[in-house]
Amino acid sequence: MFSMMKRRSFLVGASSLALGQLMSGCNRQQQASLNVQLLKGSIPAQMLNEFRQELKLTAKLNFAPEEHLNDLFERLKIWKDQPGKKDTGFKLPIPFIGKQTPAIADLVTLGDYWLESAIEQGWIQPLEVEELEGWKKLPHRWQEIVKRDRQGKLAKDGQVWGAPYRWGTTVLVYRRDKFKELGWIPKDWSDLWRPELRDRISLLDQPREVIGLTLKKLGLSYNTKNLSKVPNLEYELPKLHQQVKYYSSDKYLEPLIFGDTWLALGWSTDVLSVRSNYGEIDAVVPLSGTALWADVWVQPASVATNSNPTGTSTSPTPPADAKDNASLTKQWIEFCWQPQSAKEISVLSHAASPMFASADYGNLPNDIRENRLLLPDSSVLEKSEFIEPLPQDVSKEYEKLWTEIRSVTP
């Protein structure tokens, strides 16, 4: 699983998010506060001012961006192992001093793929969001991916462990100039096997992504459980391996930009972040359907709430500021699902809001609504799927097959 945790290192800046910390109110000692550790670039800075204006109480807001999802994941572990005091307001960073782990946040960005491990290890707790209007409007697929049992497996009657606020896809990224010379452009997974691309491809260093796309080529699901029963899989994977020049989950764009490779497997957010600066780079969501991912808000297990994970009260009279903090958490999640916020996320964060996960794209600008890299055609989206947690024995089967394929010299 940890091989998946280096995914999606974003290239857009978000230093302005820190301004939200400086503008928070401080009128009383035990003031309500909201401390959010979020993925850099995943929330437009203007949303913080809009949220502050919407609040009905004076509160301290602390939104701290982090470069990588795996850093946020590891922070959850540290908070669980070394529970500390919750942060209640802004503290100026002191440059050149050794980096310290921030105080426990109320909410943290996590990728959906991390949910299984975070739940199983007790690093996060369920969210009480099912009564929110935004949750009721959330498309069922985005509800289902965050409903889990105590082992982190999907469960229709499970608790809600995350609040999805944006999503994207796995895409084929290519060089326009090179494919103009070839006289065609990639459209689907089968194009990866074309002989003219031998030694011109880079793939993500992810077994579920690469084996999954091969299963899609064969008309099957990313989440196929019995690989040994799949006809032609052990023939197709070595053939694909022969095409590959590089495997990388974070450096796949560089060789493409320099022309060392012509085609790459990548994540839509990375591509949308750089495409405007490199005119020769384009991308396509494969017609057979692709893998979906979601960024979700999760609540660290160490955060005190009015309820325990089973939903029963842990304190008959919780402190007023604790009640206000829990209310702020829900208000922020609901705010991210409101139409205007969903639009701003979709327009400015290089990923779509789950509120725009169907053919009804509302009042989005035409250039965003027609951007099939951001919002795939509904027929493609229907054939796409989240990479779901698998039973342990099946996961080992994927890892074993991956190791065997990678050990073969092309």
- In the chain, the amino acid numbered 64 is A
Q: How far is 405 from 206, CA to CA, in rounded Å? A: 12
Q: What is the pLDDT of residue 304?
A: 67
265 φ/ψ angles, rounded to the nearest 5 degrees: -95, 130
Q: What is the mean pLDDT of residues 215-242?
A: 96
Q: What is the mean pLDDT of residues 193-215?
A: 97
Chain mean position to CA 82: 26
Q: How confident is the model at residue 369 (pLDDT cuts 50, 70, 90)?
A: confident
Q: What is the mean pLDDT of residues 93-99?
A: 40
Topology match between the domains 2-167+292-369 and 169-291+376-406: yes
Percentage of residues in the chain having pLDDT higher than 90:
72
Q: What is the pLDDT of residue 81?
A: 84
Q: Is the pLDDT of residue 87 over 80?
A: no
Q: How confident is the model at residue 407 (pLDDT cuts 50, 70, 90)?
A: confident
Q: What is the pLDDT of residue 122?
A: 97
75 φ/ψ angles, rounded to the nearest 5 degrees: -65, -35
Beta bridge partners of 395: none
Please answer whether residues 95 and 57 qualify as being in contact, where contact means their C-beta atoms are separated by less than 8 angstroms. Answer: no
Domain ranges within the chain, ordered by starting residue: 2-167+292-369, 169-291+376-406
End-to-end CA, the chain: 26
Q: If 0-12 CB within 10 Å is exposed, 13-18 middle and 19+ buried, where does residue 244 land?
A: buried
Q: How confident is the model at residue 201 (pLDDT cuts 50, 70, 90)?
A: very high
For 26-54, how does the pLDDT look when each residue is reduced to its tens digit (9 = 90+)?
Answer: 444 467 899 999 999 999 999 999 999 99
Q: What is the mean pLDDT of residues 325-342?
A: 93
Q: What is the pLDDT of residue 339?
A: 92
The domain made up of 2-167+292-369 has a fold known as D-Maltodextrin-Binding Protein; domain 2 (3.40.190)
Average pLDDT, the chain: 86
Q: How far is 283 from 76, CA to CA, in rounded Å? A: 34
Q: How confident is the model at residue 323 (pLDDT cuts 50, 70, 90)?
A: low
Q: Is the pLDDT of residue 24 over 50?
A: no
Please answer whether residues 229 and 181 qualify as being in contact, where contact means their C-beta atoms are separated by less than 8 angstroms. Answer: no
Q: Is the pLDDT of residue 249 over 80?
A: yes
- Which of 239, 248, 170, 164 has the alpha carbon at shortest distance from 204? 248
Q: What is the mean pLDDT of residues 236-257?
A: 95
CATH of 169-291+376-406, one of 3.40.190.10, 3.90.1150.10, 3.30.450.20, 2.40.50.140: 3.40.190.10
Q: What is the pLDDT of residue 82?
A: 76
Q: What is the pLDDT of residue 133?
A: 97
CA distances from 46 to 20, 271, 351, 364 (A): 9, 23, 16, 17
For 148-199, how does the pLDDT look when each residue is reduced to its tens digit (9 = 90+)?
Answer: 999 999 999 999 999 999 999 999 999 999 999 999 999 999 999 999 999 9
